[in-house]
Structures are given as C-alpha cells and as structure tokens.
Amino acid sequence: MSMPFYVSPEQVMKDRADYARKGIARGRALIAMQTPTCIVIVAENPSTTLRKVSEIYDRIAFAGVGKYNEFDQMRVAGVRAAELRGYQFSRHDVDARSLANQYAQVLGDVFSASGPKPLEIELLVAEVGDSPDNDRLFHILYDGTLLDEKRFCVLGGDAEGIAKRLDASYRDNFDLAAAIRTAVAALAGTERTLSADDLEVATLVRNGRRRSFVRCADAEVAAALR
Amino acid sequence: MPRFAAGDDPGASFPELLRRMGIEPFPAAREALSQGGTRHLDNALRPDGALPHATTCLALTYAGGVVMAGDRRATAGMTISHRTMDKVVQADDLSGVAIAGTAGPAMEMIKLFQLQLEYYEKVEGQALSLEGKANQLSMMVRGNLPAAMTGFVVVPLFAGFDPLVGRGRLWDFDATGGRYEERDFVATGSGQVLAGTVLRVGWRSNLTREQAIDLAARALWEASDADAATGGPDVLRGIYPVVASIDANGWSRVPDDSLASTYDTIMREVRAR
C-alpha cells in the first residue's frame, strides 16, 4: 500500500495562496475612488456584457477581479443576501460592513477548508454615505482577509504598481471627469493608453436618491479622457 | 450568505428565493390551502369583512402614457380603518401598480412585486419587459388564489410605459391571476362600476396628460359620491387621491395642491348643478 507524502500545513496554505494569486494576477485590475460627489469605480474590461462592476443595493456596489464565473456567483449571492435582509428588516438595515463580513467568511472558508481549490477572486464592496467620511470601501482578498480602505482601493493584477501611481496623483477634491482620468492613467501606466472601449465605469452618486448606482456611458468616459 | 448548487439555483425569482430560505411569501395562501377553502368567492369579493379593504383604483391611457389613480380609504366592515392608504404605487421607473382587495395581502404583494422587479434587474443585469412585469404580477395573484377563495382577495391593476411599442399600456387581473390587457381605461374595486362609467363616457383617444388627470379625478369623485367604501377628497384634512402619470420620462405623481384646485373646480361645478 502506498503512503501519501507528508505535506506540512504551511506548505498547503502557501500552495493554495500561490494558486489564487496567480489566477488573480492574470486578470485586469480595477480602481475604486472616493470623490466629493460620488464613489467612482473604474475597471479595465473590454466586454460590454460581462460586467465586473454592479449594483448590489441602494447605496452599495460590488466589483470583482479574477475568474468571472466565480465573482459573478458572489455578486448574485450578495444581491440575495442584501435583498433578504431588506425584506425581513428594512432598507436602512442593509450595510456594506455586514455584506463584506459575509463575503470574507465565504472566501476564507473555501480557501482554508471546504473547497477543492481556493477562489481566484478579489472583491470590493463599496457603500456611499452622505459625506466622504461615511463612505465605505471594503476589499476582500482570496483567503478571506478583509481590508477597510480609505481614499481609493485597487484590486487585481499589478495592484501594488497601480496603487503607487495613484497615491502620487490622487486628490480628494476631484470632479468625476478628473477622477476617471486619474484612475485610467494609473491603470494604464506609462507604456499603454486605455480608451473608453477598454473600460467599465460606474458610480455611486451621493445625491440622496434611493438607488445611487449609475453606470457611465462610453461617450461620457471618452469625454472625460479627452 | 445564500449560495446554491448549479442545478438548484432559484434564479431571478425573489419569491422562490424566499421559499428556499424558509420564508413563505404568501402565508395567507398557504394557510388557506392547509385548511381548505371555507368561504365562497362571491362573499370574498364584497368588502364586508372585519379586515381592512382597499377599494377603487383606475388607470387610463393618454397620448404618450398612462394615468393611474386611487382613493385613499381602507374600510373594515362599516368602519373607515385608514384614511391615507397609498393604493397606487410606483413599481419601477416605467410602471406602477394599483391594488384593490384585502389590504394586508395586497400591500405585501405590492412590496414583493417591487422587490421582484428590482431583484430581477440586478440579478439578470437588465430590466424585464413591460409584458414580463405584467406576467410576474399575474403569477403572484395566482399564488394568492387559495387565500382569495377564503376571502383574502387581491385584484391589482398594472400600467406603464412600454418603450418597445412607444406608448402606455395597462392590464387588469382577476382573483385567479387572469391577466387582461385593456386598450383605453380600466377601473377596479368596489367603486369599479361608478368610476368605470365616468371613464367610459369621458375617455377620448389622444387625451393630454392634464385632461387624463382631470378625468381620473372626476371618476374617483363620482365613485366616492355613491360608494361608501371609496373615499372622496378630504378637504378638512388635506388628503387627496393618489394620481400619477407614467410616460417615456417615468413616473410623476400629481402634487396635492394641484389636485386640490382640480377638486375645487369639480365641487364648484357640482354645486351649480
């Protein structure tokens, strides 16, 4: 009878983390950014039908990088969790923190125990508040690590390089066009240029209306980049 | 966080999701099924029970859209149980729903219907067609059929602007979920005959929005004049019917002060009769 080789738990976790990180690094990145009038989410995504950024609830948006089918399942699960909570309690009782915790739990669970492989995704749960101080940007990593970010948040391949570029150019008084321009420049880096066709842009508008999620049309993005 | 296997996914149906989570979306219907219907449908349609009933609602088309209207009164037997009920509500950007029948299940159905439209839009990434929305509502009414047989009848109207054909469309439903598209106008509830007659006499093709609102206000006036379960304009408390129009630009509710002057005119005319 053959005996399986002993593999230390450290090695198992490291292999799983490497596997997930490689999958995520292959995908294109996205940026979420706070501005005085909205939270803007700019994703590099040439597809106009397979969305990376979507609406979860009245003031909450979702964005995912990595394997599309995996984060899209998470998106639908998030819509369901939010709608069920709103149905059972009230629309005011649905918040990003609770959703982000639930995502972290699922991702952590799949990473360490229940899945044959970790999910190759990173998620963003953003909630717009009545002022930028009350905005929330939650970044959930493949292993369930939950980060509470301020100002901006970068997910996906080469996140560190993009964050470094963005850190130098970010201002907290951007209008929407300037925010899109800055985000696109950070995503593209010095050697590439991105046009409106390569981008998916959506905002959570701070206007007090019930559904704050608004997608930006290609023409609007192109005008901002001009 | 609710997650399902690929073959077991409830898809874009919110009531189905509720069932999977152990929440019955139509508890009155389930209860009625388990006990077997005891009251007859004819009795059920008359608003004479002890539970609050919502009554007269109507909808009519005009050039470019539809107008929906409903009075504000809920009655429980001979008592006015509520004076400010909103029986006409916005369903989504381009549609509205009005409900007559037992108030509890009716309000719950409106809430579920609104949630379902938004839920579908978010899960599928695009909104349902207007016809699809009417169909969804019909399925909800059908789901309530066992409860309807024991007295908890809910009969909605659904109306909206259909961008696919570029005009307003309206539907009425019966207690069994039967869905009937009407061409010009429709009224439902205890004041149905009275309000319907006013619409029948006054409706013309290509009314303007203002004319349609005026006609809706008159129809509700006549209904409240002869039907005890329909509330008229309550000048004393400043409560007026809910009247709203839906066109290509969406839902727009007629403000109370504008309705107040409409009813002033109507009352002056009635005095001069």
ipTM of the complex: 0.91
d(CA B251, CA B155): 22
Q: Does residue A98 belong to the interface with chain B, where contact is any CB pair within 8 Å?
A: no
Provide CATH code, domain B12-21+42-271: 3.60.20.10
d(CA B211, CA B199): 12
Over residues A140-199, the pLDDT tens digits come to: 999 999 999 999 999 998 999 999 999 999 999 999 999 999 999 999 998 999 999 999
Q: What is the pLDDT of residue A164?
A: 96
* Full-model pTM: 0.91
Task: Please provide the size of chain B in residues.
Answer: 273
Q: What is the pLDDT of residue B48?
A: 52
Q: Are B155 and B100 in contact (CB under 8 A)?
A: yes
Q: Does residue A88 belong to the interface with chain B, where contact is any CB pair within 8 Å?
A: yes
Record the tokens describing residue A49, joined without a space: 């039908």
B3, A77: Cβ pair inside 8 Å?
A: yes
Q: Which of B142, B148, B143, B140 is nearest to B38 (CA)?
A: B148
Using an 8 Å CB-CB cutoff, list chain B residues near A56. Answer: 122
Q: What is the pLDDT of residue A226?
A: 87
d(CA A77, CA A65): 16
Rounded to an integer, the average pLDDT of B181-208 is 95
* Residue B44 confidence class, pLDDT cut points 50, 70, 90: very low
How is chain A split into domains, by residue range? 24-225
Q: Does residue A214 belong to the interface with chain B, where contact is any CB pair within 8 Å?
A: no
Over residues B52-80, the pLDDT tens digits come to: 787 899 999 999 999 999 999 998 888 89
Q: Which of A76, A91, A140 to mutate to test the interface with B (most CBs of B within 10 A)?
A: A76
- Smallest CA–CA separation between A172 and chain B, in Å? 30
* Between A126 and B33, residue with greater pLDDT: A126
Using an 8 Å CB-CB cutoff, list chain B residues near A88. Answer: 23
CATH topology of domain A24-225: Glutamine Phosphoribosylpyrophosphate, subunit 1, domain 1 (3.60.20)
Those residues whose C-beta lies under 8 Å from the C-beta of residue A95, and which sit 6 or more positions away, are A60, A127, A136
- Smallest CA–CA separation between B151 and chain A, in Å? 26
Q: Does residue B115 belong to the interface with chain A, where contact is any CB pair within 8 Å?
A: yes
